[in-house]
Structure 1
Amino acid sequence: MVTLAATVPAVSGRLTVRAPASMLLAPSCLLLTTFFALPMGVMIAMSFLDSRTFVPTLANYERFFLDGLSLAGFVRTAIMSALVAVAVTLLGYPVAYFLARSRSRWRTVVFALALAPELAGVVLRTYGWLIILEDRGFINDALIHLGVISTPLPLSKSLFAVVAGLTHVVLPFGILSLMTSIQGIDVNLERAAQMLGASRASVIRHIVLPLSVPGIVSSLLISFTMAASAYATPALLGGARFKVLATMISEQVLFYIDWPFASVMSIALLAMMLTVSLIGIRWEASLKARKTSRKGQTQ
């Protein structure tokens, strides 16, 4: 049996307490089993039950794959999450690079502004975007007064509105992920490249970007999973016409009282996030293996 030793200082010497590793892991395992594994098992079992008779059946899965609305919501969720992930990574990378490399007094101000959205609730931030993107919102009113347009642009209740709102919500997490990765890159590599005549753009392209791939992958995965599971922002900014899996699951539970079909949608959403995470992890591992093989060939 594996045992772990914990040494505690005592008045007259040292007290050594030995306990099995299983005892130390038991609280965490019990917590995960109670609040994660057990509910997941109940949800999976419920997905195989009929919503009326509670008889075991595969009709819920057949309905999901044959119903055009369900598959459309699945595809819409994937597209929305991918756009948010790309937008967060592209917008967050310059800010993360500045925070990781700058020593100016403005660094604290930029860092505070980057984390400022987290000081307000998601619903409050979403209502702020409603004021900006509505037909009589700030953008449309400004464009109409300037004479650029004559009728309001359909900015709200659309994919653009949801992506903009979710990008605002998820951006701080992407910035922190990218900043941590860039801080792990040795600054001397950039200085050496600049001393050899490389421009700032070349240094970022050939040194910083390849070495910060783990942070880019983490930013993409965090942004994708957070956007795919978001409910408040798609519900408020997307409206009734823009339905994603999170809002469709809520409708099945609250309005149609169809928990088995909601379980199927939840499993589909979970499977999508796990698949994307697995692809990202495998991609990062393959890039690391290529770098290792190149180093071995050069040596």
Structure 2
Amino acid sequence: MPDAAVLNTPVARTSKRSLAPWYLSGPALVVYVSLLLVPLALTAMLSFNAFDGTKGILPTHTLHNYIEIFSDGYYHEIFLRTGGLALAVTVLCVVFGVPETIILARMKSPWRGLFLVVILGPLLISVVVRTLGWSILLGNKGLINEMLLAIGAIDSPIRMVFTMTGVVIALTHVLIPFMVIAVWATLQKLDPQVENAGLSLGASPATVFRRVILPQILPGVLSGSIIVFALAASAFATPALLGGRRLKVVATAAYDEFLSTLNWPLGAAIAVILLIANVVIIIGCNRLVERRFKQVFDSGAQDA
């Protein structure tokens, strides 16, 4: 057995301290690898399998699934629709979520806590339930159309169910709490004295917001945008219930391949491409925005 004095040497103690983070993060790392990385790796491997309508999944490997997706205009339309949907939802969440969070942060107790619960309360309700509620509100005989007809704003009901407009509205409602949470966390670090100093030096409220507040909450806005974009691009329940069978997105297309046609390799290829596209777009936008704002801030600092 090793001597106790050897185990208590500075080198041994340093070695133990260097391994301590690995010991502490080990269980979480095991869960992450087993529940996320391994299924993703198996899905990627499945996407290269061949498929036959009568024999099912074949043991041979091919690039046919990816070639079919990249060469078929049907899938091009689905991916473009999904990207447009995710972008529209992200923009709306930024437009409504950022001012909403700023107003919320400036409220006094107990109103701030009350409205924070109202905004984040929908997260406690299933996405399916919220989507069904929106289908009732947006229907031809729903509350929104009935109100517009009652005040004479429209002559006939507006079709919003099974349209992109309805899906965007419902997804914005579903995902805007994530934007609020991200911006709220950043606003808690904002020193109000800095804003007051800008106002006392003669800057207008718009200038203070653009030069003082926005740069400080930008990381939260960017984090919230990334979360919202990724969740909107991979959303399934809301597009399936409000979009119907015709308005397909990538998630519903993969679902149909897995459970309707039973072409698991093609469905896996669709899922892999969606994952890669999400990662590439998010990283690219992150780098572009960071570089752009760094140039703006550097030029502003030089002018000052």
TM-score range, shorter-chain basis? 0.7 to 0.9
The residue that corresponds to 1:9 in the other structure is none
Q: Secondary structure at the match of 1:96?
A: helix
Q: Taking every aligned residue pair, what percent have the same amino acid on both sides?
A: 32
The equivalent position to 1:173 in structure 2, one of 171, 178, 189, is: 178
The residue that corresponds to 1:32 in the other structure is 32
CA–CA distance in 1 between the matches of 2:218 and 2:132? 34
The residue that corresponds to 1:46 in the other structure is 46
The residue that corresponds to 1:13 in the other structure is none
AA aligned to 2:153 is V
The equivalent position to 2:241 in structure 1, one of 236, 243, 252, is: 236
The residue that corresponds to 2:61 in the other structure is 56
The residue that corresponds to 1:131 in the other structure is 136
Q: Secondary structure at the match of 2:16?
A: strand
- 1:215 partnered with 2:220: yes
**What CA deviation, in whole Å up to 9, does each residue of 1:33-84 have, x standing for no partner?**
2222221111111111111233211110111011122111111110000111
The residue that corresponds to 1:255 in the other structure is 260
Q: TM-score, normalised by structure 1?
A: 0.88
Greater shift, 219-228 or 144-153, is seen at 144-153
| Structure-2 change in CA distance of 1:143 and 1:280 (3 Å) | same
- 1:65 partnered with 2:77: no
Q: TM-score, normalised by structure 2?
A: 0.86
CA–CA distance in 2 between the matches of 1:251 and 1:274? 23
| Structure-2 change in CA distance of 1:201 and 1:25 (3 Å) | closer
Conservation of the 8 A alpha-carbon contact between 2:105 and 2:112 = no
CA–CA distance in 2 between the matches of 1:92 and 1:235? 25
CA–CA distance in 2 between the matches of 1:231 and 1:62? 24
The residue that corresponds to 2:4 in the other structure is none
Note the C-alpha offset of 1:230.
1.1
CA–CA distance in 2 between the matches of 1:72 and 1:47? 21
Note the C-alpha offset of 1:206.
2.4
Greater shift, 31-40 or 87-96, is seen at 31-40
Can you give the 5+ residue segments of structure 1 that lack an aligned partner in the other structure? Answer: 6-17
Note the C-alpha offset of 1:186.
2.0
CA–CA distance in 2 between the matches of 1:256 and 1:21? 47
CA–CA distance in 1 between the matches of 2:224 and 2:65? 34
Conservation of the 8 A alpha-carbon contact between 2:138 and 2:145 = yes
The residue that corresponds to 1:12 in the other structure is none
The residue that corresponds to 2:103 in the other structure is 98
AA aligned to 2:45 is A
Conservation of the 8 A alpha-carbon contact between 1:231 and 1:246 = yes
The equivalent position to 1:147 in structure 2, one of 148, 152, 158, is: 152
Greater shift, 182-191 or 262-271, is seen at 182-191
Note the C-alpha offset of 1:21.
5.3
The alignment yields a C-alpha RMSD, in angstroms, of: 2.3
- Within 5 Å, which residues of 2 pair with 1:71-90? 71-90=76-95
The equivalent position to 2:275 in structure 1, one of 267, 270, 294, is: 270
The equivalent position to 1:245 in structure 2, one of 242, 246, 250, is: 250
CA–CA distance in 2 between the matches of 1:21 and 1:204? 41
The residue that corresponds to 1:10 in the other structure is none
Q: Secondary structure at the match of 1:51?
A: strand
**What CA deviation, in whole Å up to 9, does each residue of 1:195-250 have, x standing for no partner?**
12223233212211122211111111111011111111000111112100011111
